[in-house]
Structure formats: structure tokens, C-alpha cells
Structure 1
Amino acid sequence: MKVAAFDESSARADPPAAMRMDYWKPSPRLEGLVSGYHLYAVAPPQGQVHSDVFQPAWFNLRILLDPQTRWHVRCGEGEAVRVPDVALFGPSSTACWSQSDAGTVIGAGITPLGWARLGSRSAAKIADRVVPARDVLGEDVEALARHLRSAAPGAVPAIFDAWLIDRMGTPHRDEDTIARIFSALLDPNLRTVGQLSHSLGIALRQLERLCLRSFGFAPKLLLRRARFLRSLHALIRGGPGRRALAIDAGYTDYSHFIREAHEFLGMKPTQFLEACGPMFTRSLQLRQAVLGAPAQALTRPAD
């Protein structure tokens, strides 16, 4: 059942583009494995494109309802690439800038725990990349896409649920350890890889291996990314004049946070927020309301 929706065109007197977004929760059987389902639809004026941005995130399976939609993304300082009509977005360490003509994309967010069950290769091999989903998940993902394209929007969650439950039924041999890492990465009191390793009782070499395999990045980068996103969203919530109070205690000062912003966003946080489109801003609020976190990478695993 659809949980919530937002139609940007109904909220703006003279919108530059008609926009719509939906978020849905997955089945309880996928808790901790799937962060949620989403639908984004845009219709920019003739001859224009819709521009927006994705935050650093985990894995996302995304399907264009019209395969002819021209959608390009650029992650960090990389080259812009055309998104395949059935695409797998790997875990990202930087903001990904997006431009498209009119179209609708539906997607499923997959957590590191979900990837451990679903993926057949190391997450590090698709980190900061967008690839054809069939190259990683197999040809049957194309059948999933056909099913979704012929269905009503309200059927999206059930279709995704059925497909993912069928493929995520068998726990991974390292699942308990991956779950503990997943949870610990969001602990603001764990600021170094040494602290993380000690708190988990895991050797540094094993921690590094599991992080690259299931999370896509080394543990140091994962800790820094989580710290930055916590601070960025605290800054957004706090508003102007509260920047020093918003940043994580792990930063030595606000300048330290700004340096990190240039790595994760490519610019200052204020410049980033000014560059973001209205869909990004509203998605933070709607995602928080429906899925419990303003960013996929800040979604807490199941208890």
C-alpha cells in the first residue's frame, strides 16, 4: 500500500517542471535488507532538462519506465554517463549530479546486508559506478523491469517485495558480523578504524575485507562518510547561524567539516544546497517521514 506521495507541481504556482515522488516501505521480511522503494517523475518544459542530485548512498536498483528516457549522471569529478534503462547504482562516496528529459524512474534501495545476500561480486567493484543491472544481477532483472512497466504505481512495492524476497532468502555466512559493522558505522562515538575494530572484536584485516566486499569502501572512508552526512543533515535541520552546533564532535573545527564537504560534495555545503533542485529538498522531508531517515546511508539496520 502506498504510504505517502508528493506532487511538486501542485505545490508551486508556476513550476519549472512537473514533479512527483513516492516512497514506500518494503515488506517486514526485508527489514534491514532493503531501505525502501521510490518513484521519481519529472516533466521539464520542452527543450529543457531536469537537474538534481543524489547524496552519497548505498546500492540502488533503478528502472526507467520508458527505456527511451535520456538520463545522465555524473558522480563526483567523473564523466557524465547515460543511465541504462535497468540500472544498478553502486555504493557512492560522492554526490551524483543528475540531468534528464521527461520520464519516470522507480527504484529499490539495497543495504549492505541486502547486498551480502543478493550480490555475487565485491561491492568495491561497482563503487561510485552506474552499470547495467543485468551484468550484476542476471537476466531475470529484465523480467522484473517488464513487470513493473506494465503495472500500476500502487503495485510497485508488492512486485519489488516478491522479487527481492525470492533472492534474499538465504543468510550470508558473515551476516551477523556485517550487521554489527552496519550498526557501528552510525555510532558517533566510534571515530577511528581502531575504535571500530576494537568495539566489534574484529581484526583490522577482516574488517577491511568485509567492508570492501559488502559496503564498497574501506572502513575509514565509511566512518568519514557517515560523520559527514550526520553533520550535513544536522546543518540542514538547524538552519542558518547554527553551523558550529550542527557538525559532529569528531571534527576538529568547522574548517575541517568544510574540507570534508569538498571531498564528498565537491563544494561547500551552502553551495551544494543552493545548487540542489526542489525535488532534492522535498525528498529529504518525505524520505524522513516515510522511511525514517533523510538519507539512505543514514538508515539504521534492523535491531
Structure 2
Amino acid sequence: MSSFLPPPALRSLVSCLWSTDGRSRHAVGTTRERVLPTGLVHVVLRLDDAPLRIDDGRGEETLSPAIVGGPRMASYGKDVRHPVASVGAVLRPGAAAHLFGLPTCELAARHTPIEVFWGRDVHLLREELGELKTQQARLEAFAAELSRRMANAGAVHPGIVSALIAVEQGVDRVATLADGAGLGPRRFRRLFQETVGLTPKGWLRLRRFQRTLAFACRDHVDWASVAIDLGFADQAHLVREFRAFSGITPGDYRRRAPADPNHVPAS
């Protein structure tokens, strides 16, 4: 998979665009992967009708070739036996409301066919992208469609923007985030969940998990020190949280050595 910086007009709404040419990212023989939660909204258009099957613990599901994956707090299994050329986008918090017309929390923890929101337009877009010969041309056409659909996007509430920045700067208490946003606790929670799709506490936990993954990818890891640095009560707490989000232990994650931190070969 190749990732690309969005054009300037999209950068406040889209964190990255990506494209694949249909080749697997995993070693030969890998049939499944675990997709780890990022807390962000993912838009995916597969340019072939080969089935895409996932299992999120509630049973196997076959997905539409054009889907929006809402923010989630747990990993899910994905069948990777049929890779196809695809394009996608990772949205910034708040962007989904402008692209799909509903609060992000209504997309949470599920995959929704994009045709629910765009109707037949999404089929025409997939056909158009499939006829283009290069990944760059596909990304440019996809970016143009996103730009058109979000041309009149409004700004995210400034209090929520400040809270998201504060989390990345190390603030780890919901009350502190609400105070910094200048909002009462109940209104802050409601606005945050509508914008991000997760509760403030859930977002804090998930961002800490993602920081843990960055350490897990290093050659040598002192997990006791990492636990302290990231604000866990102890190493056991770190391991419990890691398993809650990924379904595996940090040691198992390192043994599987994923090429992409959030896509772990399972079998």
C-alpha cells in the first residue's frame, strides 16, 4: 500500500490518501490479518467485485466493495486471500459528517456501504477509477470527488479541536480536556462523541494504545519503562489494554512483525 499526502484543500479533513495495486502486503500463504483500531474513519473503494470478508466477533460478514469503516475500539479479522486494486482515505475527526451527512458516532463500530449515502454515484466512481491506468491518476480522481463533496465543510467546534491537540500533547484526563475546551462535562462529551465517534475516555485509551504500537515496533523494548512513560499503572495494565484493543499480547505482536503497524498477519 502506498500512502499520499492529500492536496492542500483537503488536508484539514483528510489525514492521508492511499492506493494499492492488488498485491498482498503479507508473506505468501497468509490468509487472514487482524486490523487494529485507529479511532479514525476509513473510506475504502475496492475496484473489483471480489468478496471482502471480515469477522468482528459477531460472525463473518461480506462487505460491499465501497465502504466507510467507522471508528472502533476493537480489532477485527479480515480475509486477505483476494487482494484487489483499491483506493482509500483516512478522515480527520469531524470530516465524516460533511462527507456522509450524519454525526460520526452513528458510523462507529461498523462498516457501512457508501451507496447508503451516495447512491449510484459510488458505482460510477468505482467504474471511473477502475478505468484509470495508474495509482496516481486514481488518487487524483478520488481526491477530486472528496473535494467536491466536502467543498462547503464547516469547521469543527474549536473546543473539540483544542481537546484533540491536547491529547497529542499528553493530556490524559477528560476533565482537563473539558476545561481546556471551555465546555461543561456533558456538553463536551456529547460534542466530542458526535465529532470523533468515540467517548473522550475511549479516545484517550485508544491514542495511548497507538503510542504503545510505536514502541512495539522497535528492535528492543523495555515494557516496564514503556508502561511508566505512557501512563499505565504498571506493565500488566499495559498488556491488558494491548489485548483489549488488538486481541493479542505485545510479545505476539512483535513475533508477527507486521509490515503495517495496524495490519497484523494472523494465519
Same fold (TM over 0.5): yes
Contact 1:35–1:110 under 8 Å retained in 2:
yes
1:127–1:236 Cα change, 3 Å: same
Tell me the CA shift for residue 241 of structure 1. Answer: 4.1
Partner Cα distance (1:28, 1:52) in 2: 33
Alignment of 1:1-303 (within 5 A): 21-40=1-20, 41-42=22-23, 50-57=31-38, 58-67=40-49, 69-75=50-56, 77-104=57-84, 105-152=86-133, 153-172=135-154, 174-188=156-170, 190-237=171-218, 239-247=219-227, 248-275=229-256, 281-284=258-261
User: Which residue is 1:6 aligned to?
Assistant: none
Contact 1:235–1:242 under 8 Å retained in 2:
no
Partner Cα distance (2:196, 2:122) in 1: 22
Deviation by residue 1:24-68 (Cα, 9 ceiling, x = unmatched): 211011113111122232369xxx66322322121111111111x
Contact 1:94–1:265 under 8 Å retained in 2:
yes
Cα RMSD (Å) of the superposition?
2.4
Partner Cα distance (2:111, 2:255) in 1: 25
Contact 2:94–2:104 under 8 Å retained in 1:
no
Contact 1:42–1:50 under 8 Å retained in 2:
no
1:217–1:140 Cα change, 3 Å: same
Partner Cα distance (1:112, 1:160) in 2: 19
Partner Cα distance (1:175, 1:157) in 2: 29
Tell me the CA shift for residue 256 of structure 1. Answer: 0.9
Instruction: Name the aligned partner's letter for residue 66 of structure 1.
Output: D
Q: Unaligned 5+ residue runs, structure 2?
A: none
1:26–1:125 Cα change, 3 Å: same
Q: Unaligned 5+ residue runs, structure 1?
A: 1-20, 285-293, 296-303
Instruction: Name the aligned partner's letter for residue 166 of structure 2.
Output: A
1:118–1:184 Cα change, 3 Å: farther
Partner Cα distance (1:112, 1:121) in 2: 13
Partner Cα distance (2:30, 2:53) in 1: 10
Say how many residue pairs are matched: 255
Tell me the CA shift for residue 132 of structure 1. Answer: 0.7
Partner Cα distance (2:185, 2:120) in 1: 37
Contact 2:160–2:181 under 8 Å retained in 1:
no
Give the TM-score taking structure 2 as reference length.
0.85
SS in 1 for 2:94: helix
Identity %: 23
Contact 2:163–2:178 under 8 Å retained in 1:
no
Partner Cα distance (1:139, 1:226) in 2: 36
1:171–1:253 Cα change, 3 Å: same
Partner Cα distance (2:226, 2:236) in 1: 13
Deviation by residue 1:140-174 (Cα, 9 ceiling, x = unmatched): 22222222111122212211221111111223364
Instruction: Name the aligned partner's letter for residue 236 of structure 1.
Output: C
Moved over 4 A (4+): none
Deviation by residue 1:272-293 (Cα, 9 ceiling, x = unmatched): 34346xxxx3334xxxxxxxxx
Partner Cα distance (2:90, 2:144) in 1: 15
SS in 2 for 1:42: coil
Partner Cα distance (1:273, 1:88) in 2: 29
